[in-house]
Amino acid sequence: MLSKSHPRYESLVLRDKIVKASKAGYLADSAMIAHGRGEAFDYLLGEKTTLPAKRAMYVTVAIMLLSKNPVISVNGNTVALAIDEIIEFAREIDAKIEINLFYRTDDRVNKIAKLFYDRDYPEILGTNNDEMMHINEIKNPRASASKNGIYSADTVLVPLEDGDRAEILSRSGKNTITIDLNPLSRTSKMSDVSIVDNLVRAIPFMTKIARDLKLQDEELLREIIEEFDNDINLKESLELFKIKEEVK
Ligand code: ATP
Ligand code: MG
């Protein structure tokens, strides 16, 4: 049992979720490494949501609310860490959810799809019954996307995307928004909006933002988007990674 008084409690809870998901068989072998890399970046951020991350989240919600077919892409880690929060956010902004695995196997997809069905979310896309296409006809598994989901989306939100896929999405002309704790990853650099934050904090935060922005005029949403510069924001995110404590 994890003790709540442990100084790394929150982080250990997340690690536990990843371990359980790995045992349940829906994570790729490299998933734990990806999580560990995220942990390290989060540690250096003080495990807090920064101002530039919040700014990027407002822009994300504004874009998604103005989009015709916004889709949230999920992989094993995202599902393991925040499936309920993802469903809540998708419902709030009327977005679709698509399973998109970098190392796709039918078994992993079925296991993840079942987690959505168990939560009364039958509309999950990217399952083995779904019609899959290739973005820009690129015959590469990294370009595969559901016909009614990412393939025809105008905006795609991808927590924890791989750089190659982020590049394919971005080149396809879709608004590509990523959540990645590493501001230096190709994913962060390739995206139109890069949220440098832990997805477990970012997703519920954006649900709250959506409740507010849904009540605002479209004009305001457009202003929020127009004022935003992702390169400047990403630089600001990077500057916040500093070691604040001295070693004795
Ligand atoms: P890229 O392919 O974009 O250059 P990479 O190959 O270095 O990146 P991957 O292993 O493809 O990285 O993906 C893992 C990324 O996900 C890492 O950058 C890591 O910081 C980030 N990450 C891991 N866990 C989380 C999390 N919970 N929230 C946000 N980001 C996370
Ligand atoms: Mg990568």
Structural domains for the chain: 51-239 (3.40.50.12640)
In this predicted structure, what is the pLDDT of residue 67?
A: 98
Q: Which pLDDT score, from 0 to 100, does residue 245 have?
A: 66
E strand or H helix at 166: helix 163-171
Q: Which residue has the tokens 């959810």?
A: 97
- Note the ipTM here: 0.96
Residues with CB under 6 A from ligand 1: 34-35, 37-38, 41, 81, 160, 162-163, 179-182, 185-187, 198-200
Residues of the chain with pLDDT under 70: 244-248
pLDDT at res. 185? 94
pLDDT of residue 247: 67
Long-range pairs for 54-58: beta carbons < 8 A, 24 or more residues apart:
54/205, 55/228, 55/233, 56/193, 56/194, 56/195, 56/196, 56/228, 56/230, 56/233, 57/195, 57/197, 57/202, 57/205, 57/206, 57/209, 58/209, 58/213, 58/224
Please tell me the predicted confidence (pLDDT) of residue 102. 84
| pTM summary value | 0.95
The Cα–Cα gap between 168 and 184 comes to: 18
Using alpha carbons only, give the angle 95, 117, 112 rounded to the nearest 5 degrees. 85
- How many angstroms is it from 247 CA to the middle of ligand 2? 32
45 labelled binding-site residue: no
pLDDT of residue 140: 82
Ligand 1 centroid from CA 223, angstroms: 30
* pLDDT given for residue 156 in this prediction: 97
